[in-house]
Structure formats: structure tokens, C-alpha cells
């Protein structure tokens, strides 16, 4: 949840500043602005309703630990702070830095390299959101907790997004198209994982039932 909020809180503002260098579709700009507002509300709700540390359903929850299950510790506990203030300060400093570059460092803000970097970075952040789920499924060899309805909604959204990016008469930079195609590939691979692991679970359950029937016949 927190990684998703970080990705969207980072990507949407970058896309807004990207518009000043590459005047893409106004509809996409409005979408980015709305996303900023929505994600800020969701972040506040998540911070106000943080789960307390402890075991739940046999799983140990440490929501603000700076170290994950692999022993990797985030520098300065980034985006794992125990109080709400650092989250808002980080976002304020981040937006302030982008605004300063845009207003006072024209040679940088108008350079093709900087503009392209904003576009590809902001869009790549959103496009790579399925990767943690893919890795988690691969490690667990299962899709437990990942609903088929969510996967279907993601893939349907990808199809609609790609249709708009490639067939719209509006100005759509290639950064949008490439990152959307990458995200679609990731979501489709999630579908492959869902099929593989669901099939494996079904076969395992079937084998267990057969063994149980044999034991009953032997007794």
C-alpha cells in the first residue's frame, strides 16, 4: 500500500511538470492533477488507519519497520516513517524542487534531456507497479490474496489506455505508449501466473483427494 502510494505520489507530479515541456493531451494532464489529489487523500487515510505491529492471522505485521523480510534496510527508513509529518515534508520538498527548476533554472527545464527524463521517469514509476506483485507471486508460488477481478480490471484498463494512446487524435508522446505497453505485458504475465499457480493448486488438491481415497480403500 505504501509503495503504491509512493509511486503514484511521485509519478503524477512529475507528469504535471512534464506537460510544460511537452504539451501532451489536456485530458492526461487533468487526469494527473486529479490523481495527485486522490492519492493525497488516500495517503492520509492510510496514515490515520495504520495497523499496529503484531501477529495477525499467523503473520507478523511490522508496518513501519525499515527492514523487510529479506534483511534489506531502507536508507533513513525511507517511506517507513512512524509519524505522518515526514511523508508530507518529503512531498512538499519534492514539489518545491520541481517548481524551483521549472521557474528559475530555464536552461535545465527547457532542455530536451530533462523533459524526456521527466516523462519517462514519471510514467515508468506507474508502469512498474505490477512488478512487486509478480515477484511476490513467484516467491510464494501462489497468487493468494490477489483477486481475479482485480487482474481483469487491470488488463481491461490497459486495453482502454492503449486504445486511447494509439488511436486518439490528441498529442500523445511515445513515453506514454511505451510505458503503457510495458505495464500491459506485466499485467498479462500476472494473468499467466494466476493460471499456472491456480492450475498447480488444483492438481495438488486432486492428488491429495486420490491419496485419501486410496487410504480409505486400504482400510
Distances 185 to 43, 131, 199 between C-alpha atoms, Å: 28, 11, 21
List the chain pLDDT tens, one digit each, 219 residues. Answer: 555 666 666 788 999 999 999 999 999 999 999 999 988 888 888 888 877 665 555 555 555 554 455 555 677 778 888 888 999 999 999 999 999 999 999 999 999 999 999 999 999 988 998 998 899 899 888 888 788 888 999 999 999 999 999 999 999 999 999 999 999 999 999 999 988 887 665 455 444 444 444 444 555
pLDDT of residue 184: 96
| HEC-encoded secondary structure of the chain | CHHHHHHHHHHHHHHHHHHCCCCCCHHHHHHHHHHHHHHHHHHHHHHHCCCCCEEECCEEECCCCCECCCCCECHHHCCCCCCCHHHHHHHHHHHHHHHHHHHHCHHHHCCHHHHHHHHHHHHHHHHCCHHHHHHHHHHHCCCCCCCHHHHHHHHHHHHHHHHHHHHCCCCCCHHHHHHHHHHHHHHHHHHHHHHHHHHHHHHHHHHHHHHHHHHHHHC
pTM for the structure as a whole: 0.79
User: Are the C-beta atoms of residues 197 and 143 closer than 8 Å to each other?
Assistant: yes
Q: What is the pLDDT of residue 205?
A: 46
Q: Give residue 201's pLDDT.
A: 59
- pLDDT given for residue 100 in this prediction: 97
The Cα 197–Cα 127 span in angstroms is 24
Amino acid at each position: 500500500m505504501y509503495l503504491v502510494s509512493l509511486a503514484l505520489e511521485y509519478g503524477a507530479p512529475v507528469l504535471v511538470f512534464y506537460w510544460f515541456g511537452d504539451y501532451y493531451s489536456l485530458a492526461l494532464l487533468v487526469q494527473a492533477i486529479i490523481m495527485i489529489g486522490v492519492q493525497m487523500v488516500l495517503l492520509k487515510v492510510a496514515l490515520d488507519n495504520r495497523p499496529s505491529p503484531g501477529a495477525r492471522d499467523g503473520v507478523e505485521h511490522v508496518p513501519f519497520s525499515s527492514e523487510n523480510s529479506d534483511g534489506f534496510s531502507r536508507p533513513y527508513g525511507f517511506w517507513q516513517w512512524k509519524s505522518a509529518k515526514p511523508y508530507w515534508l518529503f512531498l512538499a520538498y519534492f514539489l518545491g524542487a520541481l517548481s524551483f527548476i521549472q521557474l528559475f533554472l530555464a536552461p535545465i527545464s527547457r532542455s530536451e534531456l530533462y523533459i524526456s527524463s521527466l516523462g519517462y521517469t514519471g510514467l515508468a514509476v506507474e508502469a512498474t507497479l505490477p512488478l512487486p506483485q509478480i515477484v511476490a507471486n513467484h516467491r510464494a508460488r501462489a497468487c493468494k490474496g490477489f483477486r481475479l477481478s482485480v487482474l481483469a480490471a487491470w488488463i481491461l484498463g490497459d486495453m482502454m489506455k492503449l486504445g486511447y494512446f494509439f488511436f486518439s487524435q490528441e498529442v500523445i508522446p511515445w513515453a506514454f505508449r511505451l510505458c503503457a505497453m510495458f505495464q500491459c505485458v506485466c499485467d498479462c504475465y500476472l494473468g499467466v501466473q494466476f493460471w499456472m499457480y491456480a492450475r498447480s493448486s488444483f492438481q495438488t488438491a486432486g492428488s491429495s483427494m486420490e491419496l485419501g481415497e486410496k487410504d480409505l480403500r486400504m482400510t
